[in-house]
């Protein structure tokens, strides 16, 4: 019987590569996939691999006063305006007035879009700090 998922045990100490199932490559649903983004979670050791159909992307980390509707509206507008495909978001508040919001997105021509994206990010009200890291095929950890 076919399941919803597929699993395997990987010897990550002796073989430091993970093989993707052939069914993934043979599926018409994923014919436009060009690459995958790997996200490593330092606190838990978890790794997620998310397929993407764009040539590059970025990680944006915002430290803000609070995650509020205005912040989310700004980010949603940014995603739509620059055709940024959101792959993963997370956030948490570690103090009453200090929150972290992090988003990974895929897009083509990231270098061309970078100045305007940075400009919008820097204009977010209540922003304490921001990081913008470009992720491209071939650039590793």
Query: pLDDT tens digits, residue range 28-48?
Result: 999 999 899 999 999 899 999
Q: pLDDT (tens digit, 9 = 90+) per residue, 87-127?
A: 999 998 888 889 999 999 999 999 999 999 999 999 998 99
Q: pLDDT band at 130, cuts 50/70/90?
A: very high
Reported pTM:
0.87
**Residues 6+ away with beta carbon under 8 Å from 126:** 64, 65, 66, 68, 71
Report which of residues 60 and 66 the model is more confident about.
60
**Domain 56-136: CATH superfamily, name plus number:** ACT domain (3.30.70.260)
The domain locations on the chain are 56-136
CA distance 118 to 76: 15
């Amino acid at each position: 019987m076919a399941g919803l998922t597929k699993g395997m045990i990987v010897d990550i100490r002796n073989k430091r590569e993970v093989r993707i199932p052939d069914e993934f490559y043979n599926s018409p649903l994923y014919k436009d996939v060009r690459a995958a983004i790997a996200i490593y979670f330092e606190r838990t050791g978890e790794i997620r691999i998310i397929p993407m159909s764009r040539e590059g992307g970025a990680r944006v980390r915002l430290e803000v006063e609070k995650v509020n509707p205005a912040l989310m509206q700004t980010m949603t507008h940014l995603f739509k305006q620059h055709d940024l495909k959101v792959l993963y978001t997370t956030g948490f508040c570690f103090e009453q007035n200090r929150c972290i919001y992090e988003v990974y997105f895929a897009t083509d021509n990231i270098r061309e879009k970078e100045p305007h994206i940075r400009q919008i990010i820097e204009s977010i009200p209540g922003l304490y700090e921001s990081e913008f890291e470009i992720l491209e095929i071939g650039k590793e950890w």
